[in-house]
Amino acid sequence: MHNKIELIDLGEKDYKDTWDYQEKLFQGIVDIKIENRKNNTEIVTPNYFLFVEHPHVYTLGKSGDISNLLLNEEQLAQKGATFYKINRGGDITYHGPGQIVGYPILDLDNFFTDIHKYLRFLEEVIIKTLEEYGVNSTRSEGETGVWLDVGTPFARKICALGVRTSRWVTMHGFALNVNANLGYFDNIIPCGIKGKAVTSLEAELNRKVPLEEVKSKILKHFAKLFEAEFV
């Protein structure tokens, strides 16, 4: 059991470049696990946690419906946005400036081998973080992510989740709207869920919130829940 996690803050980085980097780290862990099994060795697998802020981009999960993107190529270009169909779960989402994106690339054999628990823990990290700002958030049954005012006509999503796992190794992760431009969500049916709004920490508090401050709170709650240490 190796509970140390290497923290890598990429700052602002292109989505495709970050995806390629994730794949490289992900495959490195998988390769070690394959070698361990083949040679009956016990080489310790590393864990990583990436923070990143992407330029405007829409991503569609492997089970997603392209009709949930409401823009054509020309309109995407006009908005300065790109689009990628990717290998995570979930439908369509938006990433952009003012949003904290977290990509835990973990060997769950180092923590617990339960994908459902992993997703719930990611949600709990965000719920605990938002609590510190006096924002009461929760889960919405059957809808991955973190929501406000679930069960009311004012239900709105503040954090999207989508992951990929293989051999208990994770990639992709969560996107928390902090100071994001919510207008970009008007160009999609977020996560394929019609009639549900999105929000941000800035919209809820009526003020901008420092991203570094939010990141430190996310790391604190992540370390506690996963019984991990960031290095």
Task: Kindly name the residue from 81, 100, 125, 191 that is annotated as catalytic.
Answer: 191
93 in a labelled binding site: yes
64 in a labelled binding site: no
180 in a labelled binding site: no
CB atoms within 10 A of CB 98: 17
What backbone phi and psi angles, to 5 degrees, belong to 119?
-65, -40
94 in a labelled binding site: yes
161 in a labelled binding site: yes
162 in a labelled binding site: yes
Find the length of the chain: 231
Whether 43 and 180 have beta carbons less than 8 Å apart is answered as no
145 in a labelled binding site: no
DSSP 163: E
Examine the residue annotation and report whether 191 is marked as an active-site residue of this protein: yes
**3-state helix/strand/coil string of 70-87:** CCCHHHHHHCCCEEEECC
Q: Quick one: which of 165, 174, 66, 52 has its CA closest to 111?
A: 165
Catalytic residues: 191
Enumerate the known binding-site residues for substrate: 88-95, 160-162, 173-175
Enumerate the known binding-site residues: 88-95, 160-162, 173-175
